[in-house]
Chains A and B, each alone.
Chain A
Amino acid sequence: MRDIPLKRRGVFVSSLLRIPVVLVILAVFLSPFWILATISFKPVSDVSSYWKFPSSPTFANFATAISKAGIFGAIGRTAIITVSVVVLEVVVSSFAAYPLARKCSRFNRVVQAFILGVMMVPPLSILVSLYSVIVDMHGVNSYWAVILVLLTYQLPQGIFLYTNFIRSIPRALDEAATIDGCGPAKTFFHIILPQLTPVTASVVILSSVNCWNDFQFSRYILQAARMNTVTLSISQFFSQTYIDLNTAAACAMLAIVPVVVCFLSLQKYFIQGMIDSSVK
């Protein structure tokens, strides 16, 4: 130790001190998953603590989740809705944000305020009228209705993020493109769009999490059991006279697998996006 310079020794000690802190944080973050796993592998007759892994784990809850709740179908439907909303949101909000960011006219400021205003409307306050409109449009039990409604509530956030990000891109780039003969559309596609990757990562993460976890709108629009999404499939195990926590936990375990796989395989893009976004 004597040979190690004082500064390096300090770094070594502080690194050592960090380990227990990191372990505590890790434990806090992993504990919900641990509890979920223990409950999902427990038979109904096992009434031991949720923290304790069952002495004789069972896959029966997973079998019920697959056969009775149709969790794989639900994952597929949720994926269709999530991907559709996210793709549309990225396309529409980036298109909308460009003129809003570049032309600071009074009209555009009003438009932007209106879009932000939509974010402040509590979804529950318009539920009955929204539902009535969807019924009149024959949108109940259809993908397009739930996609449209979710998109409506996701767009303001996307437009807000894209607008602020585009404002931070120097106007000189647009001017240079114009001098080189680009119109607004060509400037957007060739100059602005390639630089939007960081903020797109943020938009994708935020809205895909919201869509994947959506319960409220899906509950009202997708009423038939054959259209159940992940959250709706899980909710059918809860009622006023019956709660099947074990099968619900098994459903949740299966439902988080695609999200975890997706995040792990794409995390370098997400992390890079966040870093780029913060530097910008």
Chain B
Amino acid sequence: MKKAMVFALVLVCCVSVFAQAQAESGSKTITMWVSGAGAQVDAMKAAVEAFEAQSGYTVEFSAPGETYEELMKTKMAANDLPDVFDTHGWSVDRYGEYLMPVNDLDFFANVSRQIIPTISNDKGEALVLPFDMDLTGIVYNEDVLAEAGVDVDSIKTWADFEAACEKVKAIGKTPITLGASNGFTVGWLYDRIAPSFYITDEANSKAADLKNGIFDEAIWASISAMIDRWVSNGYFNADVVTGDFVGDITAMATNQAAFDFIQNVAIMMAGGINADAHLGMMPIPSNSASDEPTLISGENVALGIWKETKAKKGAIELLNYLAQPEVAATIAAATGNVPALTNVKLDLGAVQKYIDKHAAVEAYNYFDRDYCPSGLWDVICAAGQEVLAQKPNAVQNTAKQVKDSFDALYGN
């Protein structure tokens, strides 16, 4: 027993000393966190490794995947942020107070004028290095729509969209694929539909109200009622409630479904499953004939520097390195989005022709990011899952839930 005890103590001591030695971080160490996974993270990691090799800095690179936001919230609460981190669309509203302005850094001259307002606070301070800009709508399968006799360019309103869904349903294919077990897919659905009900129709726009903390519950209920009708009409996949994100992409790639409310990266992912898949991107229909279809735009992959970092010099060097055209191009290419740096020239392959085609379409920032208080996203996802599951009175109940949460988070 004594031997066992001694062994245990020695083991723990050795482990602790070893770990402590590893945890010591000198001034040449930069901690860096990025959200996402797959090609986007791989590209970032490769660029960071190249930076380490040429600069002599060590970068503690971390990509926690799905738990990124949860971890960052805890780290903000503890005021212990990474030296450099990805703001994934929330550079101003969520992370703004923790970030150092980047207006004076070398790369800033090359940041696209289009995205500067999105990444700048009220004082005009830009807070991040953006790599790409989301410019997305609804992903569709060209082959399925052709088989169903649907002309995608003729879809202008939600009524047109529903007529197209009927045609797709008539040929035995799934009109809309959605994997609601991954709550974020439900959030994406609402993010795409909500602007057409609240914002884009100038005559009835509630944008100013939302910015002032006034949320119209009845409009939200009408969005949910439309989704509820889609479920009742059989437009969604049979396993919409239990299905997942992977199933979505697979259904699109294998010509089983026509529409997917998802980012452009799905087009690239579908190509990995079926090289013969022909997916495109269309603008989001409007809610009235007097309004026009729109796109969603916004910040996507963007890195900021924690204003209290002890590795400021290294962090700035890292961002300047990553902003070089040839490096930034590899990161933007992995997302399938438009580069946010003007000196980066990039052909987005399968996605490019749709970006060019819809260049004149008006784009709005993500609804939850621009018009809702931080924290409402999870509520929107959970409420939407109830609507898709067609729980009793879900349309009205969830509209009330979203309003109550909006008010509470806004501080009303």
Q: B-contacting residues of A (Cβ < 8 Å)?
A: 44-45, 47, 68, 80, 83-84, 87-88, 91, 127-128, 131-132, 135, 138-144, 147, 189, 193, 219-220, 223-227, 232, 235-245
Contacts and interface: CB of A to CB of B under 8 A. Distances in A.
B37 A242 contact: yes
A139 B22 CA distance: 11
B12 A88 contact: yes
B64 to A, nearest CB: 7
Contacts of B68: 239
B20 A244 contact: no
A197 to B, nearest CB: 12
A79 B80 CA distance: 28
Given A223-B31, A240-B35, 19 more contacts: A68-B42, A87-B12, A139-B23, A142-B22, A144-B20, A223-B33, A224-B61, A225-B62, A235-B64, A235-B66, A236-B37, A236-B41, A236-B63, A236-B64, A237-B65, A239-B36, A239-B66, A240-B182, A241-B263
Nearest to B256: A47
Interface string B250-266: 10011000000001010
B37 A237 contact: yes
A220 B15 contact: no
B8 A242 contact: no
B136 to A, nearest CB: 11
A147 B75 CA distance: 20
Interface of B: 1, 4-5, 7-8, 11-12, 15-16, 18-20, 22-23, 31, 33, 35-42, 60-68, 71, 74-75, 77-78, 80, 182, 184, 244-246, 250, 253-254, 263, 265, 269, 272-274
Contacts of A83: 11
A80 B16 CA distance: 11
A47 B19 contact: no
Nearest to A139: B23
Contacts of B19: 141-144
Given A44-B273, A144-B16, A239 B38 contact: yes
Contacts of B65: 235-239
Of B1, B42, B253, most A-chain CB atoms within 10 Å: B1
Contacts of B245: 243
Given A84-B11, A87-B11, A219-B64, A242 B269 contact: yes
A131 B78 contact: yes
Contact of B62 (A84, A87, A131, A224): A224
A151 B50 CA distance: 39
B36 A242 contact: yes
B246 A245 contact: yes
A154 to B, nearest CB: 14
Nearest to B37: A239
25 contacts: A87-B4, A87-B7, A87-B8, A88-B12, A91-B8, A127-B74, A132-B78, A138-B23, A141-B60, A142-B22, A144-B15, A223-B31, A223-B64, A224-B61, A227-B22, A236-B65, A238-B37, A238-B65, A238-B66, A239-B38, A239-B41, A242-B36, A242-B39, A243-B182, A244-B38
A47 B20 contact: no
B interface: dominant SS: helix
B12 A147 contact: yes
Contact of B16 (A45, A135, A143, A237): A143
Contacts of A225: 60-63
Given A132-B78, A142-B20, A244-B38, A223 B15 contact: no
A80 B13 CA distance: 12
Contacts of B11: 83-84, 87
Contact of A240 (B16, B31, B36, B250): B36
A235 B60 CA distance: 18
A45 B272 contact: yes
Contacts of B182: 240, 243
B15 A143 contact: yes
A229 to B, nearest CB: 12
Contacts of B263: 241
B306 to A, nearest CB: 13
Contacts of A47: 250, 253-254, 273-274
Contacts of A237: 37-38, 65
A235 B70 CA distance: 14
Contacts of A193: 1
Contacts of A240: 35-36, 66, 182, 184
Contacts of B16: 142-144
Contacts of B35: 239-240
7 nearest CB pairs, A to B: A239-B37, A242-B38, A143-B19, A144-B16, A142-B19, A87-B8, A132-B78
B196 to A, nearest CB: 23
Contact of A242 (B20, B67, B265): B265
Contacts of A245: 246
A125 B302 CA distance: 31
A135 B40 contact: no
A273 B193 CA distance: 60
A100 B182 CA distance: 48
A135 B78 contact: yes
B252 to A, nearest CB: 11
A220 B74 contact: yes
Contacts of B75: 131
A138 B33 CA distance: 18
A125 B244 CA distance: 29
Nearest to A194: B1
Of B7, B8, B250, most A-chain CB atoms within 10 Å: B8
A244 B42 CA distance: 13
Of A139, A144, A219, A244, most B-chain CB atoms within 10 Å: A144
Contacts of A87: 4, 7-8, 11-12
Nearest to B245: A243
Contact of B23 (A140, A189, A232, A243): A140
A128 B272 CA distance: 40
Nearest to B82: A223
Contacts of B67: 219, 235
A266 B4 CA distance: 18
A245 B31 CA distance: 28
Of B5, B16, B78, most A-chain CB atoms within 10 Å: B78
A243 B74 contact: no
Nearest to B336: A241
